[in-house]
Amino acid sequence: MSIPKDDGEWAALISTIKVSLPETFPEYQTPLPSEVNRTIDHTQLALAATEQQIDQLCAEALQYQFATVCVRLNHVRRAVQELKGSSDVKVACVVGFHEGMYETSEKEQEARDAVEQGAAELDMVLKYPLLKEGKYTDVYTDILGVRKAAPSPIRLKVILETSQLTREEIIAGSVIADVAGADFIKTSTGFNGSGANIDNVALMRATAGSVGNGCKVKASGGVRSAEDCIRMLKTGAERIGTSSGVKIMQELKGEAVGAKGSIRRWRPTSSATILIGQTISVSIITNLSISQRDFVRNICDPMQNTDSYPMLPSFSAPRPPSSPHPRPTMRRPGVPKKRKTSHYHDQTDYNGHSRNIFTSKPTAVFTPTGGRSHTLTVAIPGSIVANSHSVEQKTILAGIIARALAVFCVDEVVVFDDDENSPRDEYHGQGDYYESPIDKTSDELNGNDSSAKRYTGYSDPSHFLAHILSYLETPPYLRKHLFPMHPNLRGAGLLPSLDMPHHLRANEWCDYREGIVISSSDGEGQRRHSTQMSNYHHNRRYSSSSSTNFSATVVDTGLPKKVVLPDIQLPEYARVTVRFSEQGHEHYAQPVHPSTPRSEAGYYWGYYVRRCRSLSSVFTECPFDGGYDLSFGTSERGAPVYSVLEEERQEHDNYDRRKIPPDYKHLLVVFGGVAGIEAAIHNDPQLCDMEIRPTEAGKLFDYWVNLLPGQGSRTIRTEEAVWLGLTSLRGLVEGTHRPRPLYRSSSFRSSTSYE
């Protein structure tokens, strides 16, 4: 096969391979349980992994004789030392992990360093954003550079990141990696979207077979059980990347982890010898786990498709009185696996009766109690990010703040500049172009200006913080559409889950849902559809007021089937909030304003992100009519917060109190950076023109409060202050407390206009 010389020739080759693929894919023979260990790459890729965790990883790999341990470059030398003396267990190292968009020269050097330190295999991430743009020659050159830096016998695995690719792009990536000399094509990093699935594994195996260079497939990401492992191997994978290798081997050997970590070994209830080629009765098979059943079937008739076997009955054997452990309940094949660990705690209720509580899954579900018109806004200086040294530390800090915003149901977060060295406002003077300051922020984060494409953790920390907060607020199923690869998101794998009410799973139902417009048609029925990620209108929210008179819009809301918005057209790739009719079809909905779930139904529906160039613009660019009618500034020089708030004296229980609307409409809480809010005033040109001095900071707000008088540490970090502040003011938000008029400041805002 000749090597294509340009993108056009690559496209022709990829098209030829695509046409040659079969319509259905075969099932492959599963290895015996005793051989599965040699397909596993035992993995530890956490950025915060310790030497003790690497030692444990290597010890487990030696015990179970896994194919490799897969680690980051900084742990290769130690892993090689721990595995010294074993010729069977190798060390694999990731390269360009996990974004893939590092310069090729950096990847080549990383590959050389890993090999020099003893790595025998490399797992590199290809530049899949370039693959999506059709820049096939650049992708090939990148892989080939690493291949030349680490030639055979070093094994090279190329990670496609299939969760971010279409079927055609997976075929293209597989072809290019194969031609470039990869030994394996690998599904996923496990850090970006969903991991391996059988459709993609089968497609990659078939593509590699069509190219004919002997390239194999590694399934990685989300393989956490023996059942998952066997499914991938039967689909065509020949290597499995997982951090659950020990668990998989225990399941294959018939072991199960007991309630206190003890190991129980499966034993058949009747003495029987299983012979190859013999028929096995259902009474024996019902004592096996699903993965064990698959092995038995393969042994009995390796050439027969397991789907042809009759479905085995669900079985739960009674537990003898003397048995110390419950016998596991068997499931029908194909039923999704539930958590193995169940935690039941004997507790006593208010009547003194003992009751069992299931605690292995979260049970605190947000329950709306009716429409809510009042809002909560938090303002934070972006400079707090500048004080963190690495992208990982900056990312973790943003995640801590985002968790507080979600937990306390914050509706708007404002990231403002408080540093005299803050970058010039490239969007200054364009305010009239935008429908709201929030749209302006969205374009700053995802537009075509230079800051939208470069790493801004140092040059523009407010942009970085706003970018991460916006990413986390977006429902996970929309992120791959609205947030393309970006240097600011290289640490996204460290971010926590916010799990907010609008972060719905595919099997969860709500009257409202967030979606992205994927296609639309005009009045004559002409369909418009684009697949170029670069054309997305990132994270701009649209409602019915944004539409024009066209016939229909199709929206992806994370449900198994797409949703149709009849008699309306919205911009393609726009984020939209939809409402399903109570009597209507579940595949039809109507667009609503993003605040509708909150204002009409009472749902907490996430937060808006607004970027401001100064403290004064937090007030002047407020998106709410009438501005913020109640504001709190936080400082160690303020009045103790417990003195400022008093409990409402009404004859209601707590439940009724929460139904009473608060005295305010829009509450604002402002936090300072390292130097406090005073530094933001000092560096605010508008406030300086108004001759407002930093010592008068308290007069900018209705209340100037100290969140923790008598603090043990000299300083309270801003991310800690956010949690303290929102906890302290929770009663005000819930309507159980109100501020004392005695402590109200003589606010500048009552007599002075910022305009």
* Residues classed as catalytic: 123, 186, 218
Residues in the chain: 755
Please count the helices (runs of H) and the strands (runs of E) in the chain.
Answer: 26, 27
Position 694: which residue type? P
401: Cβ–Cβ under 8 A, 6 or more apart, which residues?
Answer: 380, 413, 465, 469, 718, 719, 722
Q: Which of the 8 DSSP states describes residue 150?
A: S
CA distance 627 to 666: 7
H-helix segments, 576-717: 596, 616-620, 641-644, 654-659, 677-682, 685-689
Position 172: which residue type? A
Q: Please, what is the Cα angle at 340 between 334 and 345, to 5 degrees? A: 140
Encode burial over 438-451: b for 16+ CB neighbours within 10 A, e otherwise.
bbbbbbbbbbeeeb
Which residue in the block uniquely carries the two structure tokens 């993108």? 7
Residue 283: phi, psi to the nearest 5?
A: -60, -30
Q: Which of the 8 DSSP states describes residue 241?
A: E
| Structure token digits, residue 169 | 């792009």
From residue 296, give the alpha-carbon distance in Å to each of 30, 289, 311, 443.
Answer: 11, 10, 14, 58
Contact present, 706 and 632 (Cβ < 8 Å): no
Strands annotated E in 249-382: 255-257, 263-265, 344-348, 354-358, 375-381
Residue 661 burial class via C-beta count within 10 angstroms: exposed 0-12, middle 13-18, buried 19 and up: exposed
Q: Which of the 8 DSSP states describes residue 569?
A: B
CA distance 462 to 445: 10
H-helix segments, 607-738: 616-620, 641-644, 654-659, 677-682, 685-689, 718-728, 730-734
Is residue 98 reached through a cis peptide bond, with omega within 30 degrees of 0 on the bond before it?
Answer: yes
